[in-house]
A = this chain, B = another copy of it.
Amino acid sequence: MSLAVTGAVHAGQTIGLRAEAGVIVELGPDVQPRPEDERLDGAGALLVSPLINGHTHAAMTLFRGYGDDLPLMRWLEEKIWPIERRLDPEDVYWGTRLACLEMVRSGTVRFWDMYWHPEAAARAVRDAGLRATVAAPLIDVDSNPEAMREAALRSLDELAEIDERVHAGLAPHAIYTVSEPSLRWIAETAAEKGVPVQIHLSETEPEVTDCVSARGERPAHYLDRVGLLTPHTVLAHGVWLDREELQLIAARGAVIVTNPVANLKLAVGRVFPYLEARAAGIQVGLGTDGPGSNNSLDLFADMKVFALMQKHEARDSAAINAEETWEIATGRRAPLLGAAPGLEVGQPADFLLLRAGAPELSFGELPAALVYAASGAVVQSTVVAGQVLMRDGEIEGAEEVLARALERARRLGLAAPIVPASTPPSAGASR
């Protein structure tokens, strides 16, 4: 399978691109399509690297707008947890398919997922043509640690066989929901199996104060002591980390994924100390968190909020610039997240074409246009491994995905969908 893109704009030049077997084989002004190539007309479109969502719970698309604006614990206890107990793999499959559709549409090609029934999520990723690292949240504080471990191992085996673009991980939910012996077991198992670890860390202040009073040490130090602070660990949030913890994380080479929109929406009370993390040399990525607590999967919106919050906190409009923000959102500052190193011959053919005729992209400098002016609606075409997942705003099968996801939401007895049940999904589903 080969693909040829013609007439796109990259670094101020009009260029073409050819991909074979998922890899870029030609890139430049003189690329000529071959007869066997699938064609993608890039006329006037901007060719850019795609986005990486470093932390989400994708299938929670089904829970979106359900019990919003409640205090966090009431939202979880009264709304989310009772329904999650009734989730089955088909719910997760279609919820994740819908998330994939929204990610493709807004330019995200790879994501890190932590959710129930990860094998169903993995099938959804495969069928949508995206890339992901998926893992079930591991929790043993109110259940049987042995059962948790067995399930984790079974899940790793199942996930290994689904698709080469879907990677398995281990995801201890948090230090307050997994026992110390199980955290150590996860560290050993991850090392042995060669899989990455993702964990929520220091999202809220009580997590820190509870850890300090229980163990006399802060969360990052505890995580290090149980062997989980490694170059293969993704720490989601890190809002309440202090300077010493940031130094430790930098020294260990772990990645922090910040989720600015979810942190604000859940009112965790502090902003991820990115400038300190940068000064310490930590690798940082960007995530939306689950669509239940964001409620969007459009990383264009979230990269803007990320940059805005850092400027605001620093009280300095120059504290972070658009170029740096774009690098973070495209995963360039945290190789573990799995972005291709760049648009180059020999690299995976993962890229976006953006509507250069969009007013948001037509003025000034490109990074500023991308970060401050654009939304995901500027994405015209999305390509992963040389496969065109969205072509000029159209995603094959989009209507079915939405219809099936709505069916699953109705099955779960979620609040009546906005659209009367008799109304067919309109043609807007793909955009």
Contacts from A to B (Cβ < 8 Å): 9, 12-14, 43-46, 61-66, 68-72, 75, 98, 101-102, 261, 263-267, 269, 271, 291, 294-296, 298, 301, 304-305, 308-309, 311-312, 314-322, 355-366, 368-369, 372-378, 380, 393, 399, 402, 405-406, 409, 414-420, 423-429, 431
Chain B residues with CB below 8 A from A357, complex form: 399, 402, 425-429
Do the beta carbons of B305 and A402 come within 8 Å of each other? no
Do the beta carbons of B431 and A68 come within 8 Å of each other? no
Do the beta carbons of B365 and A420 come within 8 Å of each other? no
Q: Which among A265, A269, A362, A416 has the highest number of chain B CB atoms within 10 Å?
A: A362
How many copies of this chain sit in the oligomeric assembly?
Answer: 2
Do the beta carbons of A61 and B359 come within 8 Å of each other? yes
Chain B residues with CB below 8 A from A362, complex form: 402, 405-406, 417-419, 425
Smallest CB-CB separation from A307: which chain B residue? B265
A370 to chain B, nearest CB (A): 9
Seed contacts A14-B420, A71-B317, A359-B429; 15 additional CB < 8 Å A-B pairs? A61-B359, A68-B365, A71-B318, A98-B359, A261-B308, A269-B315, A295-B368, A295-B372, A295-B373, A355-B426, A358-B428, A363-B417, A365-B418, A376-B377, A378-B428
* 9 residue pairs, one from A and one from B, having the closest CB atoms: A65-B364, A355-B428, A357-B426, A377-B377, A65-B368, A264-B308, A357-B428, A69-B321, A44-B426
Chain B residues with CB below 8 A from A419, complex form: 9, 44, 356, 361-362
CA distance A102 to B358 in the complex (A): 9
Do the beta carbons of A68 and B322 come within 8 Å of each other? yes
CA distance A358 to B430 in the complex (A): 7
CA distance A428 to B202 in the complex (A): 42
The answer, among B311, B409, B424, for a CB contact under 8 Å with A267, is B311
Given A375-B377, A425-B357 in contact, is the A318-B70 Cβ separation under 8 Å?
A: yes
Chain B residues with CB below 8 A from A309, complex form: 264
Chain B residues with CB below 8 A from A364, complex form: 63-66, 68, 414-415, 417-418
